[in-house]
Amino acid sequence: MAQALSHLRVLDLSRVLAGPWSGQLLADLGAEVIKVEKPGEGDDTRAWGPPFLKDKDGADTHESAYYLSTNRGKRSLAIDFTQPEGQELVRRLAARCDVVIENFKAGGLAKYGLDYPSLKAVKPDIVYCSITGFGQDGPYAQRAGYDFLVQGMGGLMSLTGEPDGEPMKVGVALTDIFTGMYASVAILAALAHRDRTGQGQHIDLALLDVQVAVLANQASNYLVGGIVPQRLGNSHPNIVPYQAFATSDGHVILAIGNDSQFQRFCTVAGCPALAEDPRFATNAGRVRERETLIALLRPILAARPMAEWIEVLEVAGVPCGPINTLAQVFDNPQVRHRGMVAGLDHPLAGRVDLVANPIHFSETPVTYDRAPPLLGADSAGVLADILGLDPAAIADLRAKGILGG
């Protein structure tokens, strides 16, 4: 069965996380994705370890876990496009692709003739997605942008952490990942436009723009309410009680989203008077009286063990749950049932386990038939299959140092 995007070919000139994340998602959905890397070095993240994937004998390879997390489904083409002959090969490949993804500094590919105007000249309907820290224009356009930096500049860290502690970043590079997701959506929208009109276009995505966009209700709290939100730890700015509480043997999360859930919680917890108290009867009241209510709830929740709370609250229909380690996450029966680990054949390790794609299609299921590639593993195949180069021409490119793998 053909996958949803099996008719598309993507030239992925990006590295690290945001661009490769988009490329991996498109590959998961069936697109042919060609990852262009520098011979001898490759994507920076190949070296971002330990941990590194172990080979069949238990020795470390040069494939970091970080690199593996965002490059499955792709073919690796190691080509030096700082050389004119390499640039021409990339242009010829672009002419046979639907999409180009790149995350060089604004204008950085122009000197190689691989910027949008140059590739549009050889492929007028190309969809060209540029990902940078701050966009193609504006006073910060030439600055380098990194996820951690942008989490701070974009306000996320001002909202994350305990009120009396230091600002904290999120535990994964969330700005990069959201940017990759937005890139995929934008690419698919641009392709839909191309299919209707025959017109390609340039997509300009900036990490800072994305970080501001995903501030969601917190940004709206500021824009509508006029008050700068502060760090609340695990508490929610608009819903109470919606946070983690210490129990007698761990922590439990309460995610009470409406008044009826609060009433049911109070019944189970043996404190029905709190639900009847006018100060706490509505969510608006509970937000206003947050400190008073939380102080009353803490000793109640601390009196019983976590598992007991989860059992009785789930029966009562009160949203709650544990704070799992990753070992517990991947051993969770629901996570296992949903198939959130994908095992792929790997030339060095024999098998590599990766986090699966969460999208479940009824007609075009996601399949996994290509592990994250070794550097340059597909160089000869890509140039032969797409450009028709013969073995002698490929050998000549290798001899000149233009082609790796």
The whole-chain average pLDDT of the chain stands at 96
Tell me which of 43, 98, 147, 176 is the catalytic residue.
Answer: 176
Across residues 123-138, what is the average pLDDT? 98
The token duo for 188 is 């698919």
Band the pLDDT of 224: cuts 50, 70, 90: very high
Domain boundaries, the chain: 9-214+337-404, 242-324
Identical fold for domains 9-214+337-404 and 242-324, yes or no, is no
- In percent, the amount of the chain with pLDDT more than 90 equals 99
* 150-156: long-range pairs with CB below 8 Å, 24+: 150/175, 150/207, 150/208, 150/211, 151/175, 151/211, 153/208, 153/211, 154/207, 154/208, 154/211, 154/212, 154/215, 155/211, 155/212, 155/215, 155/218, 155/219, 156/211, 156/215
Q: What is the pLDDT of residues 360-380, one digit of tens each?
A: 999 999 999 999 999 999 999
Q: What is the pLDDT of residues 320-338, one digit of tens each?
A: 999 999 999 999 999 999 9
**180 neighbors 214 (Cβ within 8 angstroms):** no
The predicted pLDDT at position 405 comes to 85
Q: What is the pLDDT of residues 159-204, one digit of tens each?
A: 999 999 999 999 999 999 999 999 999 999 999 999 999 999 999 9
Q: What is the pLDDT of residues 291-304, one digit of tens each?
A: 999 999 999 999 99
For residue 228, pLDDT beyond 80? yes
The top-level CATH class assigned to 9-214+337-404 is alpha beta
**342 neighbors 37 (Cβ within 8 angstroms):** no
**What region does 101 belong to: left with phi over 0, alpha with psi -120 to 50, or beta?**
beta
**Phi/psi of residue 133, each to 5°?**
-70, -40
Q: What is the pLDDT of residues 41-98, one digit of tens each?
A: 999 999 999 999 999 999 999 999 999 999 999 999 999 999 999 999 999 999 999 9
Active-site residue 176, yes or no?
Answer: yes
The predicted pLDDT at position 2 comes to 84
Across residues 241-270, what is the average pLDDT? 96
From the CB of residue 365, how many other CB atoms can be counted at a distance below 10 Å?
A: 13
Give the CATH number of domain 242-324: 3.30.1540.10
Across residues 99-115, what is the average pLDDT? 97
Considering the entire predicted model, what is its pTM? 0.93
From the CB of residue 109, how many other CB atoms can be counted at a distance below 10 Å?
A: 22
At residue 366, the 3 state secondary structure works out as coil
For residue 284, pLDDT beyond 80? yes
For residues 321-330, one letter each, b for 16 or more C-beta atoms within 10 angstroms of the residue's C-beta and e for the rest, the string is ebeeeeeeee
Across residues 301-328, what is the average pLDDT? 96
The token duo for 218 is 């917190």
CB-facing half-sphere around the CA of 293: CA atoms within 13 A = 27
The predicted pLDDT at position 261 comes to 97
